[in-house]
Amino acid sequence: MTKDLTTGSPMRLLLGFGIPIFFGFLFQQLYNVVDTAIVGQTLGGNALAAVGSTSSISFLVVGFTTGVCGGFSIPVAQQFGARNYRELRRYVTGSLWLCLIVGLLLTAVTVIFCADILTLMDTPQDIYHRAWLYIVTIFAGMPGYFLYNMCAGILRSLGDSRTPVIWLVAASLLNVVLDIVCIVTFHMDVFGAAFATIFSQYVAGLGCLIRLCRGFPILRMEKGDWAWDGKRIRVLCSMGLPMGLQYSITAIGSILIQAAVNHLGTDYITAVTAASKVHMFLCCPFDAMGSAMATYGGQNVGAQKWERLHQGTGACVLLGVIYSAVELGIVWFLGDFLCSLFLDAEAMSLMPLVRQYLLIQTYFAVPLALVNILRFMIQGMGFSPIATLAGVLEMVGRGSMAYLTPLLGYMAACFAAPAAWLLADVFLITAYFLCCRHLRRTAPLLAAVQ
């Protein structure tokens, strides 16, 4: 039920391990895509703008959750690579304690200050109430995101990338049904879309939790495994919190851009929302590459197989370049059709704005691939605080373009993400080689200690 990434062809292993993760991200995006498509087609452009205006806030909070849980899983992957199952179990239980504490705190804070955040973002009054109703419902369901991401991260650390996908597929199908029932049948407006997403997320999380409890003999807890251990908690926090902050720092830049787009008006919000949904869907392979590299790096560092780090990174970069060309072809020939799924008849006049935004994002697909591959590889190697600095650079890139939006208009919003990716890559390429050099230099010392 586990998969060892420390032996065998890196390309073959990354494909075999990463493809299920890709489908997991694909169906996870389907949550948001289905919500947005049904909202746009049944409730109109105003509701679509309301949901879209909260996307950067959602990315801030949900991204923090994803990052924290991903960071907590890195020591698990390292202990699995080292075949130290006793330590592995104690890191798992430590992750559970931390997710419970952080999840409850984050839920309380976001629900309480939700209205203040929307006000600071200059959310237009004509969509303010719907935007608040949607995002406060998402925030109230944050424990569901923690449950799924925590369990999925642990499963992937053990080499099981299929179980999270299976439950996400089931949850996505459930989400489609609930969207139709809540919005079309019971007329629950944007609250129905948010409720469907949260409920489905809990289903996926519970499914993964059951699999962890029943499917892995090495996770059968022994006496003392559930004890609160300060040393391990500190290790988990040193991995998880920087990854969570990385997502949040990146999202702050997105919030600045969203606020700038909000100032441009509802039409531009609608256009960016439609294009962003399509782009996020097409970027699932890049997200999968990042998650695969985190586990690959963690296991191989745990096994002290330093030479495999470059081999895996090179193989994944090649995959990223190949898919970037495929993505460009998809957008060039099918982009208008895909974007039209999120626009009603009245909003179709915005298609030139939508197309412009989507094409510019796609032209910079290779820099985005490098951001995901190198950042997650560095994190898997155990250097999460260093990788967090890439998030700071992304924030600087997006923030700079947000500052230029009053001068350059919509074009600045279109180039915000590419500017962020390019700045992050300059740092990540250098940081990756320095981290590899550090591991090689300290390898004799680590071997002597063990």
**Is pLDDT above 80 for 168?**
yes
Output the pTM of the full model.
0.77
**Is pLDDT above 50 for 193?**
yes
* Nearest Cα residue to 357 out of 318, 301, 413, 421: 413
Rounded to an integer, the average pLDDT of 314-318 is: 96
Tens of pLDDT, residues 62-97: 889 988 998 899 899 889 988 898 999 999 999 999
Rounded to an integer, the average pLDDT of 227-245 is: 88
**Is pLDDT above 60 for 294?**
yes
Q: 290: which residues sit within 8 A by CB, 6+ positions away?
A: 372, 373, 375, 376
pLDDT given at position 447: 43
What one-character DSSP code corresponds to residue 8?
A: S
Name the band, by pLDDT with cuts 50, 70 and 90, for residue 255: confident
Over the chain, what is the mean pLDDT?
88
C-alpha distances in angstroms, 141 versus 3, 30, 123, 258, 414? 32, 18, 22, 23, 31
**Is pLDDT above 70 for 445?**
no
pLDDT given at position 419: 93
**Is pLDDT above 70 for 449?**
no
Residue 323 to residue 345: CA distance in whole angstroms: 32
**Is pLDDT above 50 for 177?**
yes
3-state secondary structure of 251: helix
Residue 87 to residue 60: CA distance in whole angstroms: 32
Out of 170-184, 245-259, 285-299, least confident range? 245-259
Q: What percent helix, strand, coil does the chain show, rounded to 5?
A: 85, 0, 15
Name the band, by pLDDT with cuts 50, 70 and 90, for residue 31: low
Give the total residue count for the chain: 450
Name the band, by pLDDT with cuts 50, 70 and 90, for residue 444: low
Out of 25-39, 196-210, 277-291, 343-357, least confident range? 25-39
* Nearest Cα residue to 173 out of 203, 146, 209, 143: 203
Rounded to an integer, the average pLDDT of 405-431 is: 92
Tens of pLDDT, residues 127-143: 999 999 999 999 999 99
Tens of pLDDT, residues 375-404: 999 988 988 888 888 888 888 998 899 889
Which residue type sits at 187?
H
Out of 150-159, 407-416, 441-450, least confident range? 441-450
The answer to whether 200 touches 172, Cβ cutoff 8 Å, is yes
Using CA atoms of 86, 89, 95, 96 in order, give the dihedral in degrees to the nearest 10.
Answer: -140
pLDDT given at position 141: 94
> 255 or 367: which carries more pLDDT confidence?
367
Residue 327 to residue 381: CA distance in whole angstroms: 29
pLDDT given at position 24: 75
Task: Report the percent of the chain where pLDDT is more than 70.
Answer: 96
**Is pLDDT above 80 for 205?**
yes
**Is pLDDT above 70 for 448?**
no
**Is pLDDT above 90 for 109?**
yes
Give the 3-state secondary structure of 34-82: HHHHHHHHHHCHHHHHHHHCCHHHHHHHHHHHHHHHHHHHHHHHHHHHC
C-alpha distances in angstroms, 317 versus 14, 235, 264, 274? 11, 29, 37, 29
pLDDT given at position 53: 79
pLDDT given at position 105: 95
**Is pLDDT above 60 for 411?**
yes
